Amino acid sequence: MPSVTRNPSKRRSARRAAVVAGLLEVVEELLDAGELYTDISVERLITAAGISRSTFYVYFEDKGALLLALAEDVVAKLVDTASAWWELPPDATRQDVEQALRQIMEVYRAHDSMWQALVDAAAYDPNVRASFHEIVGLASSQLARHIREGQKAGSVRPDLDPRRTADWLTWMTERGHHQLAAGATKAELTKLAKAQSAIVWYTLYEGAPSRS
């Protein structure tokens, strides 16, 4: 007969996840309404989320820690979606690349206010800044791996420096999303994805041995 006693650590993790989910909904609603994360008080957050101040500080040291916790879900979605690009097979077409980049852009667009808050906080909070650069670094390392594997398969240009090329493309993508995709309509996202796919295609794939 299975025990009815739940693991305390699992119970605490489940409770924290529920608190984060409730606060994420509150924060994104306020950000989408045009408020700045720095201007939103803890009191407003806990009142809207229906939790006590003591509960808030059990899980979060401050608003910076909360922001990082809220961003985890968005980052996880972006990384999961971006894997569609990083895992493209050697025979992937330009249309495949465009579709993968469009999917990444759509996930970003759905959470652009949260990403904006993360970028803003990175300017003054060293913990957020370190985490932000770690996130971008992770994406860049995955893209560099894709480039190296593509070079071995002959589907990516052999003359490229994988790490530096990945760094450029990753930061270009992050800045492009931040400056161009935020608030964009579906029609505009389609045009942006087509333009980005052209840049990526001619940078990485066009002229590769298997595509000549």
Q: Say how far apart CA 82 and CA 100 lie, in whole Å.
A: 7
Tens digit of pLDDT for each residue in 20-63?
A: 889 988 999 999 899 999 999 999 999 999 999 999 999 999 99
Its CATH class, for the domain covering 1-60, is mainly alpha
Q: What is the dihedral of CA 106, 175, 117, 35, to 10 degrees?
A: -80
Contact of 116 with 74, CB cutoff 8 Å: no
Q: Say how far apart CA 17 and CA 109 lie, in whole Å.
A: 23
**Considering only CA atoms, which of 163, 167, 83 is closest in space to residue 133?**
167
> Does this chain's domain 1-60 share its CATH topology with 63-211?
no
- CATH homologous superfamily of 63-211 equals Tetracycline Repressor, domain 2 (1.10.357.10)
Q: Report CA-CA distances (Å) from 65 to 31, 129, 154.
A: 17, 12, 44
Return the amino acid letter for 145: R
Contacts (Cβ under 8 Å, ≥6 apart) of 32 = 113
Tens digit of pLDDT for each residue in 98-141?
A: 999 999 999 999 888 988 899 889 988 898 899 899 999 999 99
Q: Which residue has the higher pLDDT, 73 or 97?
A: 97
Instruction: Output the pLDDT for position 204.
Output: 98
Domain range summary for the chain, segments of one domain joined by + = 1-60, 63-211
